[in-house]
Amino acid sequence: MSKSEKSRSVSVIGIQEFREGQLAGREEILFNELHGERIIEKPHSHDFFIISLFDQAQGLHSIDSVDYPIGNFQVHVLFPGQMHKWDIKAGTIGYQLMIERTFFEKFAPYFRFSFTNYQNHPVIQLSAAAFEMLQYEFDAIKNELKREDSLENLINARAAVIASIISREAENAFTEFKVYQSNARLAAFNMLIDEFFKQEKFVAFYAAKLNVSANYLNILCKKHLKISATQLIQQRVETEAKRQLQRTDLSIKEIAFELGFVDHAYFSNFFKSHTGISPSEFRKKR
């Protein structure tokens, strides 16, 4: 990969574009290292998963329009469809696993929380011990990939260890993860939002699925997450709206329809009330 990845003709990038520069890999998974300055100026998404482990690092990583400082002993988890760009400074040392969807699904259960939780908190600060454990597993995968007779099951097992360590560190770092781990009903609500947020915007639908009242579900969210149940649904809609505006050339009217809004004006008002700018203004920034 070049130091500067500027404008591209497409906004969704496949794993094949990284095979030429791979340090080690097979069809399902690639290993690459990050050394020095890397700049991606134009936001784009991938159709595969990326786990980036930073040793010594400085810079800024924008994921779904949120800016995250890049620092030492961090792991960044990027899911297909998430928009990102970054400005990595000179002197940075990092490692990347690029993973096809079908292979990712084999160890995905070891990410113990809803994928939305990781998408909302894609940058996780690691303890020194956790970093050393992850670095060991990354190196072990790299070495296995370099073998002509590399074993898929062994790589999968090490990837499962990586997912388990990341989940434990995320649970320690973010209150939200602890809440979902300890409250099965809220965890189920979060997963239902992932499944139905485009069609269903009202709390009553989700409460019925969970066999509780809308009021009780709202009380649970406010008590444990400090936001209302409606706000939790709206956050998911807002995130997807931003992705669609950045990632696609669909008209704002088409995006509104895709996200289940009855008309363009209603969607525009919703978006502006949550972001402070109109959808068209947001799109100009991409």
Segment 42-67, tens digit of pLDDT: 888 888 999 999 999 999 999 988 89
Q: Map out the domains of the chain as residue ranges.
A: 4-174, 183-284
Sign of CA dihedral 73, 79, 82, 85: positive
Locate all alpha helices (DSSP H) within 88-151, ordered by sequence.
101-107, 115-120, 128-145
Structure tokens at 51: 């786990």
What topology is assigned to 4-174 in CATH?
Jelly Rolls (2.60.120)
pTM: 0.74
pLDDT for 22 equals 61
Structure tokens at 241: 């709206």
Q: Residue 81 burial by CB count (10 A; 0-12/13-18/19+): exposed, middle or buried?
A: middle
Letter string b/e over residues 138-154, b meaning 16 or more CB atoms within 10 A of that residue's CB:
bebbbebbeeeebeeee
The alpha carbon of 170 is separated from its chain's Cα centroid by a whole number of angstroms, namely: 13
Determine contact, residues 31/142, Cβ cutoff 8 Å.
Answer: yes
CATH number of 183-284: 1.10.10.60
The dihedrals phi and psi of 227, each to the nearest 5 degrees, come to -140, 165
For 60-114, how does the pLDDT look when each residue is reduced to its tens digit (9 = 90+)? 999 988 899 999 999 999 998 888 889 999 999 999 999 998 888 888 888 877 7
